[in-house]
Amino acid sequence: MKRDFLRLGDFSAEEYRALFRRARELKADRRQRTLEGRSLLLLFEKASTRTRISFEAAIGQLGGHAIALPMAESQVPRGETLEDTARVASRYVDAIMFRTHGDDRLQSLARAATVPVINGLSDGGHPVQVLADLFTVQEKLGSIEGKTIAFVGDGASNMALSFLEAAPIFGFTLRLAAPEGYRPEGARVVAPSEAVQGADVVVTDVWISMGQEKEAAARRKAFTGYCLDEKLLARAARHVIVLHCLPAHRGEEISAGVLDGPQSAVLDEAENRLHVQKALLEKLIL
């Protein structure tokens, strides 16, 4: 029976421990060709840099190949349903990565597909990115369990939502700092200074995501005081690492000094997309 990876709750804590062990092995040895002859379809309704490159490189290094298809170049804009696209693609490839808008679209495609479907980003979450983030935390700090992670920014963003989902699975404390109007329902929210105080990890993300460009002025005003700069970071633990999924706007959600500074792990975080996704592709396809 096929398994999808649409949200972090799709796997157990024990499965994630095994996934991270395998990711470490694959990072140490890039010569393993476990997916020889396998194919991965990459469907894009949203623009991408890291997601496209990391997934193409991941299956390529494992011996398979990727087919990247921007949705605008498919038959969907001409009226073909997502379901028909999924059913046909399932006859050609071994897995599908879908980067989309609403989670209803992600779920519709996954229900129709007979091969595993991976959420490459949706409005409701960015699970592959948060997996890479947590793998980086483990790599840098030795463990995830018991750590305090502060997320400063848009608490209703897909990144914040995935961190909220991850906290009870991975056993870390999440402190969320978000202005009014940008907070997830039911979550406890604190000021940025309280969130960062003594934190082991500080995470931020862009204030204006794809599709929110018309809200740019209002969002910048709402997020005044939420920039992760040197003064705010000084409240964190001395061993703190800084994460940002990129692309970043220096001087907006994060200062250049923090993003490029000694506590920043953003390039390791970006690289780790490759290794974690290799392990994920193996798990789902094999």
List 38, 50, 52, 273, catalytic entry: 273
Q: Residue 129 catalytic?
A: yes
- Name the burial class of residue 179, with classes exposed (0-12), middle (13-18) and buried (19+) by CB atoms within 10 angstroms of its CB: buried
Angle, CA 211 vertex, CA 210 and CA 212 arms, to 5°: 95
List 244, 245, 275, 277, catalytic entry: 245
Q: Residue 245 catalytic?
A: yes
Q: Residue 244 catalytic?
A: no
- 134 strand-pairing partners: none
Q: Residue 205 catalytic?
A: yes
Closest CA to 206 of 240, 233, 244: 244
List 129, 133, 244, 275, catalytic entry: 129
Closest CA to 263 of 127, 150, 146: 150
Q: How far does the chain reach from its first CA to its final CA, in angstroms?
A: 11
List 205, 227, 244, 275, catalytic entry: 205
What is the Cα–Cα distance from 65 to 98, expressed in whole angstroms?
A: 16
List 99, 175, 219, 275, catalytic entry: 99
List 126, 175, 219, 244, catalytic entry: 126
Strands 148-152 and 201-204: parallel
Q: Residue 3 catalytic?
A: no
Q: Residue 17 catalytic?
A: no
Instruction: Cite the active site residues.
Output: 99, 126, 129, 205, 245, 273
